Structure 1
């Protein structure tokens, strides 16, 4: 099961992806856990936008949407925009590839 542990709380990315992915300006989304010294992991959203809105404006709107829809620990600490997200031939997100750069140098299995 895809899970982020932040401050001892289990956070399930699928719930957050459902909220962000439901926004009409979002084409694709992946939510991952990245290192956080205080909490162990923090929530980060990687978003592919349709280009109809300014990324800064869209990030603000997505954060508001998350705050209205999710418990505080589940709200992404950051949103990063990407051109695309890596997927397998069957369409499954390759989250390991997305997490690896953030965890380089950390003693943690991803």
Structure 2
């Protein structure tokens, strides 16, 4: 907000557009984190000389989320996607976030095959 006041929105998508950063799978943790890192590098390149204090690392105030097991809905959806691809994989060991990533991966594979 401090650096890009002229932008009507400073959402990740808007800032990525401004810096021509590819945000392929918005709202997926890995892709958002990668895009955020690229935004940071661009901001640092553009503003470090003016505001070096803003780029000094600070301690994180963060606690990891508890890992939750795959939901029944995710499991059923994954089973149907795997059936479409004629694959059989054990799903009980997956966490909710792993299941979400796996769903995204399978959907991407299915779209490519079409």
Higher share in strand: 1
Q: What is the TM-score when the length of structure 1 is the normalising length?
A: 0.23
**Larger RCO (alpha carbons 8 Å, 6+ apart):** 1
Larger Rg, first or second structure (1 or 2): 2
